[in-house]
Amino acid sequence: MRDVGPFRIVNRCLVPTPKILPCGDSAVTVEFGETIDPDINGMVLALDAIVRAQAPAGLIETVPTYRSLTIQFDPATTDFDALTGLLGDATKDLAPRRAVGRRWRVPVVYGGEYGIDLDEVAGLHGLTPSQVIEIHSSAVYRIYMIGFLPGFTYLGGLDRRIATSRRLHPRAKIPAGTIMIGGEQAGIAPMDMPSGWHNLGLTPVRPYAPGRDPVFLFAAGDEIVFEPVDASRWEALEKAVRAGEPVAEEVRP
């Protein structure tokens, strides 16, 4: 391992040099960069796996994001200095975690009452709605993190041809299962929620369901592909979800 300014060479790979920062008296954050990048996120997930496997005394929770990992701890059991030593060792030769989690196929009804912004997004980019659907559903999306609301999926991998700035006037409520884009990100609404993103479609899949096992269907590091389905299938798919079926299908990469 050799430092090169803000980067270091690990296993012949140039990766960001991590920064270990205090967050009050009960949390510490390790930052790996400032961009949405699969290698940076891969380092976040690699460190998250190490910390959870070692389960140091006082560990309460780990929170992986696009570019950083926050570790919450019990200040009566451990402190920043003790965790800094552990994290320094863990990040010394840390390389991005290449392996992803599971890949999911998620059915989506696009446009019309299911995706009220599809036509507008198409017009902004000089495309037809069918072209937007083709572009959106052809990508493989990486779940970089879960946050904002329980089960909210922040997805990277949106094709820049349909990247669209967020709405000037957010909506007070969009329905659970909304498939949306905002900037260069995509997402799935886990519940009814406010949003300034653009709604392309709707899925009956629920990333978060308190009465279901598992409560959270997706995890950071998983991948998602969207499958366009006809509106005629909506009632049957929604019925399956109400019966407790996940509907999202786990598929091999």
Q: How far apart are the first and last CA of the chain?
A: 32
CATH for 66? 3.30.1360.40
DSSP-derived 3-state class of residue 106: strand
Residue 207 DSSP code: S
Counting the structural domains of the chain, the total is: 2
Judge whether 87 lies within some domain: yes
Same domain (yes/no): 130, 223: yes
Domain end marker among 91, 113, 140: 91
Judge whether 96 lies within some domain: no
CA separation, residue 9 to residues 3, 15, 207 (Å): 6, 6, 37
d(Cα 45, Cα 220) in Å, to the nearest integer?
8
Alpha helices per DSSP H over 63-200: 80-91, 118-124, 129-138
Q: What is the pTM of this model?
A: 0.83
Compute the residue count for the chain.
253
Structural domain containing residue 239: 103-251
pLDDT tens per residue across all 253 residues of the chain = 444 445 555 555 556 678 999 999 999 999 988 888 888 898 899 999 999 999 999 999 999 999 999 999 999 999 899 898 889 888 887 877 665 689 999 999 999 999 999 999 999 999 999 999 999 999 999 999 998 899 999 999 999 999 999 999 999 999 999 999 999 999 999 999 999 999 999 999 999 988 888 899 999 889 999 999 999 999 999 999 988 887 899 987 6
What pLDDT does 15 receive?
A: 61
